[in-house]
Amino acid sequence: MCGIIGYVGHREAAPILFASLQKLEYRGYDSYGFATLHQRKIWIRKNKGKISEAGFEKLPGTIGIGHTRWATHGNVEKTNAHPHVDCEKHVAIVHNGIIENFEILKKRLKKDGHKFRSQTDSEIIAHLIENNIGAGVEEAVRRAMLVLGGRSAVVVISRDFDGIIAARTGSPLIVGVGENEYYIASDIPAFLNRTNKVMYLDDGQMVIIEKNKAPVFKDIKSNDIIKKRIITIDWDAEQIEKGKYKHYMIKEIMEQKETIIRALNQDSRAIKKVANEIDKAFGVFLTGCGTAGKVCLTGEYIFSNIANKHVNYVTSSEFPNYKNFLTKKTLLIAVSQSGETADVLEAVKVAKEKGVKVISITNVKGSTLDRMSDYTFLINAGPEKAVASTKATTAQLAILYLLAYSLAKNIDHGKRLLLETASKINDMLNPRYEEHIKKIAKRLHRKKDIFIIGRGFNYPMALESAIKIQEVSYIHAQGFAGGELKHGPIALIEKNTPCIVLTKGEDDHDIISNAMEVKARGGLVIGVGPKRYGVFDLWIKTPSVGVLSPIVNIIPIQLLAYHLGLFRGCEIDTPRNLAKSVTVK
Ligand code: M6R
């Protein structure tokens, strides 16, 4: 949520900030802005909407900051776009996060005579710094950070300092290390085409990057200096480009030909060790949000069916309500593509306070979740840029299957099944297949509702299907457990209302009965699965993979969502109102 970039070096900052911010646009895209420092003066440009070149090239200087916004406090207006400045323009700041005590702070600052230009909570940071500017800008930033409630990442330039000062109390910030130049950003793709060497800023830390000097990391509370290591990231810049594809989403869907195999590239000893922990634990929870949450819910079925083990899924934002059930014997498995989702991190924090061991499944090495966990499985999917999660979903599922098969003392069999599934996906994802789905999308794209039903393993995937269709095509879509339809939602079925039915190709009698119930009320039944049942008006074939059917069934729905979005002229990779990593609660 909100993308931040900063640059200190020997080159013109504005073009670098511009290019980097474009790479961060998936984090927020309602407005954007830049500030540079030149001859002890701060130069600012901001605008509403997605990043365009208007005015950015006129900013002079080799030090600067940029921001792309996902609005929380204050409308989508130019005045609310970052950077924000204090009354006397001593500093310009960009911020990602939410300041929970902003009303009290703003009231106090107003009383002290500060004049506000925006409706944002972020602007108060500039005024808080101004209040202490007499102590020097570094100390003023530190003091401001000490009073901010909530989770924040802040990057500051000042007319009195030849560099950048940044601080983190919850939201991510990473320093990119170049040749006598430094970047600071909320995500690695911002500077990956320039350097893959990084230094992580942990919670409660700040960094002072002065021109021609090495960065100095400090603890915000104690002001003590902290030593940091430079870490090399093994993603390459090409992975974050669209290549021959029109959108990241379709590129990432197609990458599932390889990503499931890459997800299986885990240390078997670690899989066995964690499976053993799951076995020993008294109470195992899975937690995640949105799509990752649906992966966790599938995990309940995976562990129950394959390993006869009871695990509980709790959506991360509700997890704190379960704290009374947590003990030192509990195990928490947190699933998050980005590893930066605030609700997930909060769940992990609550668990850790109770002495719970935390295992994470994430795509981003060095992410906050990775660093908070006792053990991390990296899904190895490569950067996922489209807001709609696709390849991360199936890779996360693959790891849950591996763990369950290991728990059932059958890991080799599990691996074999997953590899077979990966090869069937490779065959499935051909141009003819996509064309077939495109035709179905054409038929459905003007519908106002789409329902999706599934049972067992495919029930969570029905919920996930709804998320995909909603966020990419803006069609109202809802997923249900097949058996639930008759308890209420069936009232919504009218003549030709589309209902997608997820099947396995075996033991499908109950879900087929539910499909019949829809058909009997005039619904248009679209079957997904290995067998073409008579009740289907339209059919999308998926390979027969038994208990692994969630992995293969969700892929055609991802394609369907993509083509629905295209037919409806939607912003595929950056859907309205959304952002890739949701770093606010
Ligand atoms: O990075 P995370 O996996 O923690 O993200 C969780 C959700 O915000 C995410 O899955 C969201 O639901 C996606 N936009 C769905 O496609």
Q: Whose CA is nearest to atom 8 of ligand 1?
A: 290
Averaged pLDDT, 394-423: 97
Residue 208 pLDDT greater than 80, yes or no: yes
Residue 567 pLDDT greater than 80, yes or no: yes
pTM for the model stands at 0.86
334 lines ligand 1 (CB under 6 A): no
pLDDT band at 71 (very low <50, low <70, confident <90, very high): confident
Averaged pLDDT, 470-496: 95
Residue 28 pLDDT greater than 90, yes or no: no
Render pLDDT for 31-52 as a digit per residue (tens, 0 to 9): 899 999 999 999 999 988 777 7
Residue 460: what pLDDT? 98
DSSP 573: S
Averaged pLDDT, 408-431: 96
259 lines ligand 1 (CB under 6 A): no
Phi-psi category of residue 522: left, alpha or beta, with phi > 0 → left and psi -120 to 50 → alpha:
left
Residue 30 pLDDT greater than 90, yes or no: no
Active site residue 2: yes
Residue 573: what pLDDT? 93
What domains are there in the chain, each with its CATH number? 3-239 (3.60.20.10), 247-429 (3.40.50.10490), 430-573 (3.40.50.10490)
Nearest-Å Rg of the Cα atoms of the chain is 25
Q: Measured in angstroms, how far is the CA atom of residue 335 from the centroid of ligand 1?
A: 10
Render pLDDT for 151-204 as a digit per residue (tens, 0 to 9): 899 999 999 999 999 999 988 899 999 999 999 999 898 999 999 999 999 999
Q: Measured in angstroms, how far is the CA atom of residue 314 from the centroid of ligand 1?
A: 15
CB 334 within 8 A of CB 360: yes
Q: Distance (Å, rounded) from C-alpha 217 to C-alpha 575?
A: 37
Averaged pLDDT, 549-566: 98
Q: Measured in angstroms, how far is the CA atom of residue 290 from the centroid of ligand 1?
A: 5
Residue 227: what pLDDT? 96
- Mean residue pLDDT of the chain comes to 94
Render pLDDT for 237-292 as a digit per residue (tens, 0 to 9): 777 788 899 999 999 999 999 999 999 999 999 999 999 999 999 999 999 999 99
**Per-residue exposure over 527-564, b if at least 16 CB sit within 10 Å of its own CB, e if not:** bbbbbebebbebbbbbbebebbbbbbbbbbbbbbbbbb
290 lines ligand 1 (CB under 6 A): yes
pLDDT band at 53 (very low <50, low <70, confident <90, very high): low
337 lines ligand 1 (CB under 6 A): yes
Active site residue 580: yes
Q: Whose CA is nearest to atom 12 of ligand 1?
A: 290
Residue 400 pLDDT greater than 70, yes or no: yes
